[in-house]
Structure 1
Amino acid sequence: MSTILVTGATGTLGNEVVQQLHTRGHHVRAYTRQAQPAVPTGVAVFQGDIRDGSGLEKATKGVDAIIHCATFFGEVKATDLDGTSHLIKAAQAHGAPHLIYVSIAGIDHSPFSYFQAKLGVEHLIEQSTLPWSILRVTQFHPYILSLIKDWEDEQTSTITVPAGTRFQPIDTREVAAALVQLVEQEAAGHIPDIGGPEILTIEDMIETYQRVLHKKGVIRAEGPEVLSGEYYDAFRSDEKLIPDRAVARITWERFLQEWAEKLLK
């Protein structure tokens, strides 16, 4: 089997990628800032910080492919743009490993600065001398759950959301499976996007959240005069939706049910 490096290996997606690669018998390297991350036995940990490139020279030596999951909204230039430049430079010094990148659907149609940074990362990869594959996906289930919890005021049982928001949520397990499949194929450039199985309003998603968790509360939808800025504008935009690529199978309700079951254990 191949030797695969995973950046962002302890993140929501990266951790799942590591698990699936390990299950399929690949030799897996987890690149992370953590000294002792929780990874399966047999996974090699390479500690470093992609923001300054530390540890990448050693981590990329001898790998057949790299699945690049590292990203951070709060430090998008340092982590995504500068980090990818460091990664490409290190990888190029050791031959031509297949660089696989997970990106976001619709970023070439949005002015949102985070999306534009992700598009910039795509351009860095396209212009590198490495063989590459880029897969764009819709928003992850755990990410939307984190938004809802951030917007929820437990004291007043009110969830305030940007009006007119729709998502096409996708499960990280299905995204990870698609990335692992790319490892086992030749580099293919831009792969057809994959999106979740359904397009839902944020109100519908919250109603399901409340029903599954046996919660009651008020959903308050606010316009741009209250919830303003590019962050909320990006949520309201339908550019992130890909109805013609609704190929994933795990629904929002199924994700929530499984998540709620884990909470009870």
Structure 2
Amino acid sequence: MTSLLVTGGTGRLGRPAVNAFRAAGHQVRVLSRRAGPEHVVADLTTGEGLTAAVQGADVVVHLATSARGQDAQQTRNLLGAVAGLRHLVVMSIAGIDRIPLGYYRAKLEVERLVEESGVPYTILRATQFHDLVAQVFGAQRYLPVVVAPKMMMQPIAVEDVATRLTELVGAPPVKGRAPDIGGPERLWVPELARIWKRAKGSRRPIVPVRLGGKVFRAFAAGDAMVDGPAYGRITFAEHLG
């Protein structure tokens, strides 16, 4: 049995990951700013409580992320507390070195910090989650149409990512990046929108659009997808139920 500490364990990926780790027989604690069952209270942003939280952990799985640009600082704080750790597993995103988004640049900085830390590590990049794709369509609920960029995506289910993370925590550190993983389908976003529309019973028309700019061109070029065979098994339609 391996003792795991999971950051971001209550998030979109964290919940299924924690469940998968426990189902595999690991002892799991979740880093949180709030007390709770199997929680360890600490603050990644300030670093308060991190050294004590990490004590006793064989593996730390770093899933926490911030929409406010704090990923790099949180990672610095975590790395300062994990001296002597056996294995650090870090979640990242496919294509971040090719797509010029600010959030992706922050993720690249996280990878650089981990690579230079001297801590035995494994970095896993995955394509966009099914949940995020559905969220983008759902956010347009007040529009008379569903706008869908003319590009392909390869979304993956968080449950599939959790399965891969479980494999990695049970293996020695890669000391680099594990092979990137993506979902079982490469689909045009307008087709993903049609799948979402059927699942939600929406009557709004799908409007394919071609967007400009470096970010869209990178997505349209397939830079957010992965090479090689798909890892994920759950399709977008299956995710929507």
Please confirm whether the aligned pair reaches a TM-score higher than 0.5, indicating the same fold: yes
What is the alpha-carbon distance in structure 2 between the residues aligned to residue 143 and residue 235 of structure 1? 15
Residue pairs, 1:1-265, within 5 angstroms: 1-36=1-36, 44-72=38-66, 74-76=67-69, 78=70, 80-92=71-83, 95-153=84-142, 156=144, 158-161=145-148, 163-188=149-174, 189-224=176-211, 230=215, 235-257=219-241
TM-score w.r.t. the length of structure 1 is: 0.84
Note the alpha carbon deviations across 1:66-100, whole angstroms, 9 max, x for none: 1100012x212x2x1000000010111xx223000
SS in 2 for 1:107: coil
**Letter of the structure 2 residue corresponding to residue 181 of structure 1:** E
Mapped to 2, the partners of 1:22 and 1:191 lie a distance apart of 22
Q: Secondary structure at the match of 1:52?
A: coil
How many residues are matched?
Answer: 240
From the superposition, tell whether residues 153 and 236 of structure 1 become closer, same or farther in structure 2 (CA, over 3 Å): farther
Structure 2 length-normalised TM: 0.92
Give, in whole Å, the separation in 2 of the partners of 1:35 and 1:217: 44
Which blocks of at least 5 consecutive residues in structure 2 are unaligned? none
**Following the alignment from structure 2 to structure 1, what is the Cα–Cα distance between the partners of residues 14 and 140?**
26
Percent of counterpart pairs with the same letter? Answer: 35
Instruction: Assess, with a 3 A threshold, how the Cα gap between structure 1 residues 166 and 149 changes in structure 2: closer, same or farther.
Output: same
Change beyond 3 A, Cα 1:169–1:47: same
Take 1:45 and 1:200, find their aligned partners in 2: how far apart are those partners?
Answer: 39
Read off the aligned partner of 1:191 and give its amino acid letter. A
CA deviations 1:122-181 (Å, max 9, x no partner) are 111111121000111101111111111112326x3x2123x3232101011111111111
Distance 1:220 1:254 in 2: 23
Q: Distance in 1 between matches of 2:47 and 2:6?
A: 14
| CA spacing shift, 1:56–1:253, aligned 2, 3 Å | same
Preserved CA contact (<8 Å) 1:152 1:160: no
The CA distance in 1 between the partners of 2:110 and 2:229, in whole Å, is 23
Report if the CA contact (8 A) 1:112-1:234 is conserved: no
Give the whole-Å Cα distance in 1 for the aligned partners of 2:142 and 2:112: 40
* Cα distance change, pair 183–62 in 1 and its aligned pair in 2 (3 A): same
Structure 1 Cα separation of the partners of residues 218 and 68 of structure 2: 18
Q: Deviations over 1:178-198 (max 9, x none)?
A: 111111111012111111011
Distance in 2 of aligned mates of 1:233 and 1:2: 43
The structure in which a higher percent of residues are helix is: 1
Deviation for aligned residue 1:212: 1.9
SS at match of 1:194: coil
Alpha-carbon distance between aligned partners in 2 of 1:173 and 1:119, rounded to the nearest angstrom: 24
Aligned residues of 1:91 and 1:97 also touching (Cα < 8 A): no
Give the 3 Å change call, closer, same or farther, for CA 71–237 of structure 1 in structure 2: farther
Q: Secondary structure at the match of 2:82?
A: helix
CA distance in 2, matches of 1:159, 1:229: 23
Asked if the contact 1:66/1:98 (under 8 Å) is kept, the reply is yes
